[in-house]
Amino acid sequence: MIAFNATLGRLSRRAAFCAATLAGASAPALADGSLQAKYALSVAGIEVGRATLIVQATDTTFEIAGTGKVSGILRAVSSGKGTAAARGTMEGGKPTPTVFAVNTEADGKVEAVRIGFAGTAVKELEVDPEPKPLPDRIEMTDAHKANVIDPMSGAFVAVPGTGSLLSAAACTKAIPIFDGRQRYDVTLTFLRMEDVKADKGYAGPAVVCRVGYVPVAGHRPTRSTVKYMQANKEMFVWLVPIAGTRLMAPFKVSIATMIGTAVLEATSFETSVREKAVPVSTPKR
């Protein structure tokens, strides 16, 4: 969630499950879950960016694609746009990425990251431009690139078990993120349930989590922005279910910044499930 909101912030200056019937017998089937969402980003109540998000998830695979661009009054003084995508497999109901890529362009400056995964470890990495080797930057080692997930896949929280998705279980975890330049943990702590409503699509309960940022490597601990985010107690995410899956998606993100509260909120949030009958195989005689 932090990474998704942070990507849009830079632009501003810069997802099933079984259920159907076999002929002649009761048995599980496959269900695809999908999400199409649009978001608006504001800072101190002023719109500065817009984004779109598309998610497709089955019981074995997932694909996520997003775009963002500067909008509102900020277009008069800055330009920016970006794309991000991730795809991979569903392992134990959780997204496990195989590839992640992000490309941004802001005021003539282009940045790109591509990460290839093998399991939960980084096997391929391309970063342009590469981070500068500064004395106060915490060194990134191979150990920091193991047991991680990319920031886009990490924004979708998998709730284990068979109980309700809309419960505190959505918020009790730390998510190990590697974004190509930094390794950090995003922590989620349950706060409350709250109703949300998009202009189009979803209207209903959301799980509200407090978000924490724990830098691990690749960051510069002396920077004021790192210190601020590390100490920030005013970061929250509202999570709602993606139909047909056990994935929770961000409906809203709110982060206090040095220039006002940044809010990323869905204006359209349409999620659906498509069931697919499993063909019956007739035994040979």
Name the burial class of residue 97, with classes exposed (0-12), middle (13-18) and buried (19+) by CB atoms within 10 angstroms of its CB.
Answer: buried
Sign of CA dihedral 168, 173, 174, 175: negative
Find how far residue 117's CA is from the centre of its chain: 17
Of 148, 79, 90, nearest to 115 (Cα)?
Answer: 148
Point out the residues of the chain with pLDDT beneath 50: 1-30, 277, 279-280, 282-285
| pLDDT value, residue 76 | 55
Residue 276 is predicted with a pLDDT of: 59
Q: Which of 130, 132, 121, 124 is nearest to 101 (CA)?
A: 124
Rounded Cα gap, residues 25 and 29, in angstroms: 12
Question: Amino acid identity, residue 270?
Answer: E
Nearest in space to 172 (alpha carbons), one of 196, 191, 148, 156: 191
Q: How far apart are CA 89 and CA 78, in angstroms?
A: 38
Q: Which pLDDT value is given to residue 268?
A: 98
For residues 49 and 70, the answer to whether their CB atoms sit within 8 Å is yes
**pLDDT of 168:** 94
Q: What is the pLDDT of residue 74?
A: 62
Domain boundaries, the chain: 2-20+30-270
pLDDT (tens digit per residue) in 247-283: 999 999 999 998 899 999 999 999 998 765 454 454 4
The tokens describing 165, both together, are: 């998705």
pTM metric for this prediction: 0.84
Roughly how many angstroms between the first and final C-alpha of the chain, as a whole number?
55
